[in-house]
Structure 1
C-alpha cells in the first residue's frame, strides 16, 4: 500500500529528526539528569556504591562562603567580555566598509580564535613573565619597573581576562560582520537620501537590526565568563593565594583531587542555575520587548 503525500512528508521529517534527537538525548539530557542524580549522593568516583545524602551537598555549598566568593574572580572576565564585544563591533563596522586591505585585517583579527587555548596560555606566560616577559621589557624601555602581572592578587584576573579578550574578540567580530552584511542595503540608501549622519545610521538602523546578534554574543560572553577554566589553570593554577581560582576550577579540584564527585556534581548543578538566572536577566535587560 502506497503512502499518501502527507504520510511521506511525516516519515521524511521523522527520519531526519530521529538521529539528532537520539544524539541530543544521549549526550545532553541523559548526562544532565545523571549529574542532578549524582548531586544528591556521596560518591568517590571509583567505587560502584553511591550513598544517597539528599540535600547535604547543597547545604554544604550554601554554608561555604568561599564558594560564592570565588564568583567575584569571574567579574574581570565579564568586564573584559563586554569590552571585547565593543571592540569586536567597532572592528566589524570598520571592516564592513570599503577599507583597503580589509580581508587581511579580518584574517589577522580572527586568527587568535582558532589557536589552541593551552598554546595561547603558554604564549602569554612568556609575555607576562616578570623577569623575561616582553611586556615588562617594553616597560623597562620607558623607565618603568617590572610588574608581576600574574603574581599580584589584584592584577592577576585582569591580566588573564585580557588574554580572553585577545583570543575571542575575532570570533565576535566575525559574527557581527555577518550580521552587518545581512542588513538590507535599501535602509542605508534611504538614510543617505534623507541626509542621516553616520552615527544616526548606526544608532537607528545598524544596532536595532543587529539586536538579536548582539544578544547572542553577550549570551556567549556571559557563559564564557562564568565557565572560565583553561587560562587560570594553565598559567597560575589558581594562584597567587587562590586569587585567580575560578568556580569551574574549584569544581574540578573537588571531583578529581578530593574525590568528592557528589559535591562536585552539586556545584555543577548550582552553576547551571546561576547561568540560567544570569542569562534570563540579560535577556530582560538587553532583549527588551519583541518588536
Structure 2
C-alpha cells in the first residue's frame, strides 16, 4: 500500500485528514546560540557604558566617603561626613538660586523653539535658510561662544555700540552686578541651545502624518487649531524630553558662566563651586559628595516630572 493510499484509508476511516507532522525541536546548540547572539552584539556598547559611565560614578561615590585631596596617595574613610557638611553649610546650596535664571531662560527657550518649529514646519519661503540660522549656534564650540560674548557685553563693546545706533546710551556694566550678569549669561545659554530644542520639535512635527493636516484644512481648521489639536498632542513625548533636559541643564550650568565670569559677581553655579572645591581647594572628597548630591537632585526632578506627566502613547487617528 502506497503512502497516498494509506492516507486516503485513514481519512475514510476517521473522517478527517491526519495531522501535519510536528517539526523536530531545534538542536540545543542552536537554541543556545540564538539566546547568546543578541548579547554578543551588545557586548561592546555595554563594555563602553560600564567603563566610561558606571565605573566613574562608582568611584565618585567611593571618593565622596573619604577626605581625599586629589593628590595624596592616602585617603581616609569619613563616612557621611562630607554629606553632613554639604547640608549644614548654607553657602554651598545658595548657588542653586543662580540656576533660577537659567531655568527661566529654558522656559523661554522652549516656547521660542516650539514657535519657530511650528512656523517652519509649514511651506513658507526661505524656511531652509531659517532652519540653518537657528541651528547654527548649537554647532559652535562653547568656549568660542563664551569668548565672543565676553567682548559682546564688555564696556563699550558690541552691545553698547549697537544700542548707541538707536540713541540709547548707557554706562551700565552688563557683567558687573549679579542680576545683570546672570541675566546676560542665561540669555547666552538660551541663544546657544535654542537650535537643539528647535531640531527636536521640528523632527517631531514632521513625523506627524500629512493626511491629518489635509483633513483638518478640509474641516476648516486654521493654523491655531492644527497646532492645538494635532501638533501639541503629537509632540508630547518630545516636549517632555526637552523639559527634562532643560531642568537638568539649568541645574548643571557650567560652560558659559565659567568661561565668561569664572563664577565671579554672584554667577557661581553649583558645578563651578564643585570644580573649585576639587581643583582649587583640593577637597576632592567634598566635591565628589557635591556631585553625587547634584546627580540625585536631577534624578529626583526627572522622576517627579515623569510621574506628573506620564509618557502615554499618542494616537492622533
Smaller-chain TM-score bracket: over 0.9
Q: Is the 8 A contact 2:121 2:202 kept in 1?
A: yes
1:227 aligns with 2:255: no
- TM-score normalised to structure 2 length: 0.86
Residue 40 (structure 1) aligns with: 65
Distance 1:136 1:266 in 2: 42
Which among 153, 158, 173 is matched to residue 134 of structure 1? 158
Matches of residues 18-37 of structure 1 in structure 2 within 5 Å? Answer: 18-37=43-62
- TM-align CA RMSD: 1.8
- Which consecutive unaligned segments of at least 5 residues does structure 1 have? none
**1:2-26 deviation per Cα after TM superposition (whole angstroms, max 9, x unaligned):** 7765434323211101111111111
Distance 1:19 1:62 in 2: 40
Distance 2:308 2:187 in 1: 25
Distance 1:100 1:146 in 2: 41
Instruction: Tell me the CA shift for residue 174 of structure 1.
Output: 0.8
1:268 aligns with 2:263: no
**1:107-153 deviation per Cα after TM superposition (whole angstroms, max 9, x unaligned):** 1111110100010010001110113x111122233133232111111
- Which consecutive unaligned segments of at least 5 residues does structure 2 have? 1-26
**1:46-102 deviation per Cα after TM superposition (whole angstroms, max 9, x unaligned):** 122110001110111111101111000011111101111111111111111111111
Q: Is the 8 A contact 1:76 1:157 kept in 2?
A: yes
Matches of residues 1-291 of structure 1 in structure 2 within 5 Å? Answer: 6-131=31-156, 133-141=157-165, 142-240=167-265, 243-287=266-310
Q: Which has the larger radius of gyration?
A: 2
Paired residues, number: 288
Distance 1:157 1:96 in 2: 33
Instruction: Tell me the CA shift for residue 38 of structure 1.
Output: 0.9
Shift of the 287–162 alpha-carbon distance from structure 1 to 2, 3 Å rule, reads farther
